[in-house]
Structure 1
Amino acid sequence: MSVRSGRPPRSGSTGWFQPLALVLRLLVLGVGLGVITGTVLKQLAPRMAQGAMDTPRIGAGTTPVAPLQQGIPLGSFEPREELTALSARWKALAAAQKDLKVGGFLLVLDDGRFAQLNSDTPLPAASSIKTPILLVALEDLDRGKLRWGEPLPLTKEVVGGGAGWMASRPVGTRFPFYEAATEMIRVSDNSATNLVIKRVGGKLAINARFQALGLPATVLNNWLPDLEGTNTTSPHDLARSIALVDTGAKLSPRARDHFRTIMGTSRTNTLLPAGVLRGIGGDSSDPDSELLARGITVLNKTGDIGIAYADAGLIELPNGQRAVAAFMVKGPFNDPRSTDLIRAMAAALSETLIGRSPAPTPR
């Protein structure tokens, strides 16, 4: 009788092990596919979302939607259609003050509408010439000819009286370029202006640059403050110097930002901004804030030497358009009619372009 050694085969255990192994394999395969699918969808999601936004859905009862406009055109300095009624109104306002020499210019950069009154006539620039000086200096910054933080030494030659505080500092004090450029506009500092003029090459060099920019009436004959009024410009030149920046014709985007930021620091808002506010039915001791509440911004620079007044700026309108405007008046010393006339011409401008604007909602 023979005896079998070893364990008998476990046929019963084989029956349940194989299905279990198959289930485990399927689970592993499912997890793997889930991970792969999730990774792919994560990578494709931004593109799919972009495609959903860019591609209009077309189906029953739907209308194709045009793609969104990519940005607003910057416009150009190109007068096309004269606002003859506004030009005539300026002429009438000036005619009522026969002993005053008056000039004005407006251009809506987006569509070329313009108004003018003796716009190319050279008049004493006073501190309004600081705007084209700022443009020239920022061109040099763009070209790498000067640095934003470059120290500018105060010398006896550039110390100027009148507006500003830098003249009170000891000769030899060094101011960074950005501070001189800002104070030149913010408080109309004359010593800061002379520092910038000297740094960009002096009067002869800067006059050549003005001509190259298409500013034929803009001539620097004297250091600031130039109380005699020998430095000249015109309303057309002042408006053009601002438009060249805002339309992108001059300066890089970064330098253009510097220009706008510096122009926005100007403290004097009693001429162009106050006049614009008056024209839309407003009155405030703080015109800039009141205008901003109505969707209007004015970035301006004034000039005042008693015998001559000027103001020029960029006006951002409530409809998103932008305009450049400049006004200049020469008359008797400290005659209030000069400043009143600038405000009246600015008011006529805003009545034409904006009309009566609703008062801001009380807060």
Structure 2
Amino acid sequence: MRESGNDLNMPSEDGFSPHQQDARRFSNLPTPRLAQPTARPRPAERRSRKSEPARGRKPATAPALNGKNLAADRAPSTRAPLKFDEKLKSGPDRLREQRDRRRNSTQAASSTGNRRLKPVPNPATGTHPQRRSRSPRKLSRLSASAPPRPRTRSGTAIVYGTRLLILGVGLGVLAGTILSAWDSARYFTAGASSPEKTEQTATVSATPADQLPMLTLGQEMLPLKNNLQALVAQQTQLSPGMMIVDLDTNAYLNINASVALPCASTIKLPILVAFFQDVDAGKIRLDEMLTMRSDLIATESGEMQYQPVGSQFSALETATKMITVSDNTATNLLIDRLGGKEALTQRFQSWGLTSTAIQNRLPDVEGTNTSSSQDLVTLLGLVSNGKLLSMRSRDRMLDLMRHTVNNSLLPSGLGEGATISHKTGSIGSMIGDVGLIDMPSGKRYLIAAMVKRPRNDERAEELIRQVSRLTYQYFSQPAPAQTSGNSGQPNQPPVSPQTNPQGTSLQRTKVAQP
């Protein structure tokens, strides 16, 4: 027993006891290790690693103590690898297989026109594939079997609609321009038409007398009439005709108002009304050009006579010169454009102006053209009430008359703040003035004073100035209370402006009150 015990404790030939030999034997076993993260391989190492087969790790060995053990350490280990190491090695393989499957599916999808799937990066190899994308249009071109994509029509419809709208507007503007040019040509052609056709046109513009409401008159202004009659009685060599109408109360004054007298340039007032009447009817344009002929040039007053033959003036400019500076050449141009003296006389008669007529072109130094203070006041009253002209033409006409240059007759008898739209007339045998007066108090009245005189007698001018002064003073007084009259007689009935006076008396006709 001692030998056996000694045998166990005795060292072996290599100098180790049995226990030491067992420890030595167990220390030669390989130690399992986990896969450690390594640095990202370079491309050259990656290619070489892919080409090399998988190799196992060399097991760790203890330091050799003798030659026998060194030989044993050099021998390769025949132990099977651990399953844990197999799982670590199979992970990159599975990722590689997944990448291959996705690549195959992407190639199959690109053949049918679908978008290619992005490649998945490989964490085992540390690679990051380059991302490349193609637009759907390029993919559709690559696919031969993919059907063409339909285009949307919403934007195209809007574009076509806009083009049609622009085309319609352009056609409308073009049509309007053509019509305007044709209309202007028609008007200018009418200006060069024959006198017979123009006279017919002027006659159509006239308003029948039975359809034209006449100027309604109220009571006669007896106090003013008495004062003016006393003034006229002092001038035995003068033959005046006077008509005054209060536009607020229709009260009137009549002294020989219906007697026809040479009217000189006061005939230009009804010519001006006829001109604006044709403007309202669209037969004359204000910018229409009128050509001056040699047979239309007139002397005496005006400046157009000094222009060369063939000069052109607009219709509005011609009418303005006829009124403001009493241009006779401008008057003849308008008489010719409105159809001639016969056509105008017919139109005056249709307005109820029974004493107004044009016998000759201007200058009418012989006094053949006639009118009456009653006709001129009646005409101004119809214009003021809007019976013959539109409101626009009426205002334009009265504005022209406010700019009359000669203010030596009726305007000289007015007070401060009063305005007058008037037209004067003067030849050797007659002088007159007719106008509409606006007072600062708001009162408005019409007045016409025509005086037949010895040749160029200046007393006629002074008479008109005194008549204007007395009339303005009369209307400046406060309105008296309505009574039965100073003589105790009842109020006189209203009269018609068509009554003919016998001396200073009047034949009265009852008319309806306004």
Q: TM-score, normalised by structure 2?
A: 0.51
8 Å Cα contact 2:451/2:460 also seen in 1: yes
Partner Cα separation in structure 2 for residue 269 and residue 78 of structure 1: 29
Cα deviation, residue 158, structure 1: 1.3
Counterpart in the other structure of 2:432: 310
Matching residue's letter, 2:426: D
2:483 paired with 1:345: no
| 1:92-151 CA distance string (max 9 Å, x none) | 222211121111010011211111100000111011111111001110110011111111
Partner Cα separation in structure 2 for residue 115 and residue 276 of structure 1: 18
Counterpart in the other structure of 2:239: 101
Matching residue's letter, 2:255: L
Counterpart in the other structure of 1:183: 321
2:257 paired with 1:139: no
| 1:242-262 CA distance string (max 9 Å, x none) | 121111111111111210121
- In structure 2, which of residues 364, 367, 390 is the aligned counterpart of residue 252 of structure 1? 390
Moved over 3 A (4+): none
8 Å Cα contact 2:402/2:419 also seen in 1: no
Instruction: State percent identity of aligned pairs.
Output: 41
Task: Count residues in correspondence.
Answer: 266
Counterpart in the other structure of 1:149: 287
Counterpart in the other structure of 2:408: 270
Counterpart in the other structure of 2:211: none
- In structure 2, which of residues 330, 333, 337 is the aligned counterpart of residue 199 of structure 1? 337
Cα deviation, residue 175, structure 1: 0.8
Cα deviation, residue 319, structure 1: 2.5
SS of match in other structure, 1:313: strand
8 Å Cα contact 2:262/2:371 also seen in 1: yes
Q: TM-score, normalised by structure 1?
A: 0.71
**Which structure has the higher relative contact order (CA within 8 Å, separation 6+)?**
1
2:379 paired with 1:231: no
8 Å Cα contact 1:109/1:322 also seen in 2: yes
- In structure 1, which of residues 192, 199, 210 is the aligned counterpart of residue 348 of structure 2? 210
| 1:11-68 CA distance string (max 9 Å, x none) | xxxxxxxxxxxxxxxxxxxxxxxxxxxxxxxxxxxxxxxxxxxxxxxxxxxxxxxxxx
8 Å Cα contact 1:77/1:109 also seen in 2: no
Partner Cα separation in structure 1 for residue 296 and residue 228 of structure 2: 38
8 Å Cα contact 1:129/1:233 also seen in 2: yes
| 1:277-317 CA distance string (max 9 Å, x none) | 4xxxxxxxxxxxxx33xxx1111111111221000000112
- In structure 2, which of residues 439, 442, 447 is the aligned counterpart of residue 320 of structure 1? 442
Cα deviation, residue 185, structure 1: 0.5
SS of match in other structure, 1:98: coil
Cα deviation, residue 265, structure 1: 1.4
SS of match in other structure, 1:90: helix
Counterpart in the other structure of 2:196: none
Cα deviation, residue 355, structure 1: 4.0
Counterpart in the other structure of 2:511: none
SS of match in other structure, 1:105: strand
2:222 paired with 1:84: yes
Cα deviation, residue 272, structure 1: 0.5
Cα deviation, residue 335, structure 1: 0.9
Partner Cα separation in structure 1 for residue 336 and residue 227 of structure 2: 41
2:452 paired with 1:330: yes
Cα deviation, residue 177, structure 1: 0.3
8 Å Cα contact 1:77/1:247 also seen in 2: no
Partner Cα separation in structure 2 for residue 93 and residue 202 of structure 1: 40
SS of match in other structure, 2:274: helix
Long gaps (5+) in structure 1: 1-75, 278-290, 357-363
Counterpart in the other structure of 2:311: 173
Partner Cα separation in structure 2 for residue 224 and residue 88 of structure 1: 37
8 Å Cα contact 1:86/1:349 also seen in 2: yes
Higher-strand-fraction structure: 1
**RMSD of aligned Cα (Å):** 1.5
Cα deviation, residue 341, structure 1: 0.6
Long gaps (5+) in structure 2: 1-213, 479-514
| 1:149-187 CA distance string (max 9 Å, x none) | 111111122111011000111111111000000000110
Matching residue's letter, 1:267: V
Partner Cα separation in structure 1 for residue 413 and residue 373 of structure 2: 16
Matching residue's letter, 2:370: T
